Structure 1
């Protein structure tokens, strides 16, 4: 019986460590990665910390032990101060005049043959055309000779005149203005368009923040050792700060209807998400269900987002987790004003 007691104490000690770290993680969105770059990395692990604490809570609950209150207390705090990891219910009201907006990191339409299926490129075009969005923002876009997206208006921005890689926004509605923020010293970027829908002008940002270059199929995620990986991630988060501040500065003067979507290369527990989501609605939180995982990796990472202004009504949110044509899943929302 004494041995059992020691095991229980050890389990509770481990439980206490994970509960404390989760509690501390709730302050991460308030600390710029430029101040303490290493702290920003832990924002990637918040979903895991939540799941571990849920596991400890269930463990102690089964044993009818008061230790269950520790993780429960931390999880309740997180429910009120942090974005939800899991949505248990969704709102779905489809109106004929909804604006159907999709965001999709298309991974260069499989240009480098990451997927074995040689018809992946055509299947992506087929998927987009069948879903028939009003607006689609694509990250890691590639100007392929086979390009076949059946939307009449578009704005494509590549890194140079000779480079075929970049970002794109396609629309059913006329694009009356467009531009690029031109991130410095980065392969990533953010572009925007002003779309005319009836009498409304809607600004759409397509965001692709600094990539962390995580390769789940390689040891140390593609780095020689964990120390180099840690340093690379920290440098990536610092770059994201400058990119986010540029986006915030650019959108400051825009007071109309607005959509910010794309691949943030970060989670909802990060500084960059908090800054971009401030005074905006996260369409997953408004109308989504489940984990909302958008990155094709066993770990539950929601790094693709569609945000909109507070006046918008979010009638639907969907993650196409059955579409495995890229390393990201497409996401879609229906909006109305």
Structure 2
């Protein structure tokens, strides 16, 4: 520190604070939001903390300063203890027998005209038709504005009998069982369907966990009343934890092949993700590339997931940059 200029001393102090924040974030998967809800907020910032620390590494290396070691070592530790922020394409091949599954939060098909385009439902329908998923999972499904999806089997569960909003599962394979967890005190929900492919019965879960009400304009970090924002985030994370616990109890009763997908409204660095992804493979980690960004935000947020049981093989994973919603659709090709 003595050999650093005054400006570099200030920069290194900032570097130290942000590196410490990243180091603390590695504890997030082991701390339930029900225990420490304020700490859970850090899970949303992990991607940007990683990127900032990478910038610090480059900054110090350019100046040939050993201070690069601080962020470099913490980023290196993260490689072993947390999920990757960026994936390089491994060039996996697909099989004709793969099951193609897509998860897409369609934001009510633009019912409230967030996007100035009257053809959003048609564009979503055309996109799905082009990608031809065997299983289509939709979150924030809107009954009134929904286009027709060409599938022989479907399960649409509205939150309430007189509601128009809910979750949907469309399938090319016969659905022999279905159900809803009926999450309480929320507009969110979890549904499932058991589909028969060849001689296999596969359980498909469609999750839409508690929304944190983030939006694509990113005013949530700084421009909005901070106390109200933090209170809302804390309440949202606690609710997600409760919903996760309900899901885990339900999931424990199924021992067969399964796919768990949907909008978790939380990142891969959270307690919620760690609990749900336990004993499963993450489609993005197995076969994805890039940041895998699934939410149209100012920095790369991956909050939509396709998880499979440990016996499954993920041959392909894609995150599409379709701006027909505040979420991007994701699709995986899966085999057993």
Please name the residue that 1:61 is paired with.
Answer: 61
Which blocks of at least 5 consecutive residues in structure 2 are unaligned? none
Please name the residue that 1:209 is paired with.
Answer: 209
Which blocks of at least 5 consecutive residues in structure 1 are unaligned? none
> What is the deviation of 1:298?
1.8
RMSD: 1.6
Instruction: Tell me which moved more, 302-311 or 111-120.
Output: 111-120
1:53 counterpart SS class: helix
Alignment of 1:318-333 (within 5 A): 318-321=318-321, 323-333=322-332
Query: Is contact 2:217–2:297 with CA below 8 Å preserved after alignment?
Result: no
2:168 counterpart SS class: strand
Query: Is contact 1:214–1:222 with CA below 8 Å preserved after alignment?
Result: no
> What is the deviation of 1:336?
0.3
Alignment of 1:109-148 (within 5 A): 109-144=109-144, 147-148=147-148
Distance 1:231 1:146 in 2: 34
Instruction: Tell me which moved more, 242-251 or 214-223.
Output: 214-223
> What is the deviation of 1:221?
6.7
> What is the deviation of 1:206?
0.2
Please name the residue that 2:19 is paired with.
Answer: 19
Instruction: Tell me which moved more, 174-183 or 11-20.
Output: 11-20
Distance 2:218 2:7 in 1: 35
Please name the residue that 2:177 is paired with.
Answer: 177
TM-score w.r.t. length of structure 1: 0.96
> What is the deviation of 1:218?
7.0
Please name the residue that 1:317 is paired with.
Answer: 317
Q: Deviations along 1:178-230, whole A, 9 cap, x unmatched?
A: 00000000000000000000100000000000000112437447995111100
Query: Is contact 2:218–2:298 with CA below 8 Å preserved after alignment?
Result: no
> What is the deviation of 1:30?
0.3
Query: Is contact 1:91–1:315 with CA below 8 Å preserved after alignment?
Result: no
Query: Is contact 1:215–1:221 with CA below 8 Å preserved after alignment?
Result: no
Distance 1:194 1:103 in 2: 16
> What is the deviation of 1:21?
1.1
Distance 1:23 1:152 in 2: 49
Moved over 6 A (4+): none
2:45 counterpart SS class: helix
TM-score w.r.t. length of structure 2: 0.97
